[in-house]
Amino acid sequence: MRTSHLTNGQTARPQEDGPEVPAADVEQRPGGWFMRRAGAYVALTKPRVIELLLVTTVPTMILAADGLPSFWLIVTTLIGGAGAAGSANAFNMWWDRDIDQVMNRTKKRPLATGEITPRAGLVFASILGLLSLAWFALVINWAAMWLTLGAIVIYVVGYTMILKRRTPQNIVWGGIAGCMPVFIGWASVTGGLSWAALALFGIIFFWTPPHYWPLSIKFKKDYAAANVPMLPVVSDDKRVAAEMVGYTIAMIACSLLLTPLAGMSWVYTVVAAVLGGWFLWSTIAMLRRAQGKAEGKLGAMKVFHGSITYLSLLFVAVAVDVFLPF
């Protein structure tokens, strides 16, 4: 697969007629041919990313239903959400296959190695997306379907095609797509949205930068080599850490705003405050290390893993609070 470079330093789209990587150069997956090929297509969907998105969907549905929704509704919503997220991720890999070849973190992805051809990847992403939209429309409701379509378009067009290679704030606005599962989950239960759903959306929106920027710091050289202007590439660690603190404060505010909007109990409020305070302190500690006011390594990946713990526990608290007798 051949690549060319634009005069402004950005990497151009790979040429479709370029030679495929020889089979010998592709890392063989264990098992037979069918299992290797199936595994490659599964890898296109970024299953680990889908897991985190679905973790927020079920608690949102429980809150929207003020109890446990039907098992069938939960399962069908998760199936549709996984398909839509997988489609968006496959489109992302198809578009970004040129920079994936440059970055060490992504160079073994199926489209980057040639294990799956660009045409096959595009067809797979398209079919998966259409099936997920049809699933929501026929099995759940039209509101969830339109929100799902919006999520795919925002991630594929808004983030991947427009923002990612053009602005250091790419992950901020592109992160809207990652917030959409709470809207989709809420709409699946109620057929619409509410202010409580907007608060949940805000939590994930403001959580995304302090979650993703630490990872971008770790792979800063990769992004620089691929000419992707992530904030840690174009700014120093002090500015990145300072912005992470600001977004974390806004995230905590949204988590506490959920109490009056959704009628949460004092238990959720205390848990949200404690979790928020803990994560805020981790970002402040990172800022102090970046400023040289505290000893030790920057600890970006510690904050990254902490962000996952924070979001998971917060949404567990959302779900549990619904069933408390007070």
Q: What are the pLDDT digits (tens) for 127-181?
A: 999 999 999 999 999 999 999 999 999 999 999 999 999 999 999 998 899 999 9
Joined tokens for residue 85 = 């997220």
What's the CATH number for 47-192?
Answer: 1.10.357.140
Torsional sign, CA 284, 288, 294, 296 = positive
pLDDT at 26: 46
pLDDT tens across 192-226, in order? 999 999 999 999 999 999 999 999 999 999 999 99
CA 33, distance to chain mean position in Å, is: 30
194-325: CATH number: 1.20.120
pLDDT of residue 24: 39
Domain ranges (residues) in the chain:
47-192, 194-325
Distance between CA atoms of residues 182 and 318, nearest Å? 12
**pTM of the predicted protein model:** 0.87
Rounded average pLDDT over 13-28: 43
What pLDDT is stored for residue 296 in this prediction?
75
Range with the lowest mean pLDDT among 15-29, 172-186, 241-255, 274-288? 15-29
Tokens, residue 60: 């949102």
